[in-house]
Amino acid sequence: MNQEILLSIVQSWKIQEKPEYRGFRCGNCQRPLYKAWHHWCKEGGYLTSVHLCSNCESLFNLSKIEIIKLNIFPNKKDFSLEIPKQIKEKLKQIIKGWNMQSKPIYKTFACDSCSRNIHKAYHFWFKKNETLIETHFCKKCGDRLQLNSLK
C-alpha cells in the first residue's frame, strides 16, 4: 500500500531530463524543506527517495494523504540523455551504496556522492533499463561531473 501511495506521488511530479540545480521540496505539497522524511519508491519503473514534510508524513502514516497532482508523469521513452562514461560509473557506485530496505528517516539532505549535508542540489534523473532513477549532487560534485553541460 505504501509503495502505491509513493508511486502516485512520484507520478505527479514534472520530471526534467536535464539536471536541475535547486532546493528541496516536499514530494507532495511542494513546500520548501531543509529536512524531511525520506522514503524509497521502488515501484512502477522508478527508483527515488520521496521527501515528505512532517504534515504530509503524518497524513501518509494515517493513509489520509491526498496526492496533489502537479503534472502527468513523463514518458520514460523520452529520456535519452547521453551520459558520459565517467558519470555512468559514478552512478553505478552510488546506487550500489543505497540501503533501500531502511525504514523512513527524518534527516537533512545529503549529496549522493560526497555525503555532505546540502540545502540545494543537482536533481539528476537518468534511465537505467526501463527505470527512472533520481540522484542528488552538491554543487561541487555536480560541477566536477559537469552535470550542467549535459544536453
The predicted pLDDT at position 124 comes to: 94
**Cα 109–19–100 angle (5° rounding)?**
45
Q: Give me the phi and psi of 72, to 5 degrees please.
A: -80, 140
Q: What average pLDDT does this structure show over 77-89? A: 80
- Dihedral Cα 18, 21, 22, 25, nearest 10 deg: 50
The rounded distance, in Å, linking the Cα atoms of 77 and 132 is 10
- pTM of this prediction? 0.90
Q: What is the DSSP string of 114-129?
A: T--EESEEEEEEEEET
Residue 67 CB neighbours (<10 A): 16
The predicted pLDDT at position 71 comes to: 56
The predicted pLDDT at position 10 comes to: 92
- Local confidence band at 150 (pLDDT 50, 70, 90 cut-offs): confident
Mean pLDDT of the chain: 90
The predicted pLDDT at position 78 comes to: 65
Q: Which residue has the cell 522514503?
A: 39
Q: How far is CA 51 from CA 20, 47, 87, 90, in A?
A: 17, 13, 24, 23
The predicted pLDDT at position 74 comes to: 58
- 48 has a pLDDT exceeding 70: yes
Residue ranges of domains in the chain: 2-149
- 110 has a pLDDT exceeding 70: yes
The rounded distance, in Å, linking the Cα atoms of 47 and 50 is 9
- Local confidence band at 149 (pLDDT 50, 70, 90 cut-offs): confident
The rounded distance, in Å, linking the Cα atoms of 32 and 14 is 16
Q: What average pLDDT does this structure show over 142-146? A: 93
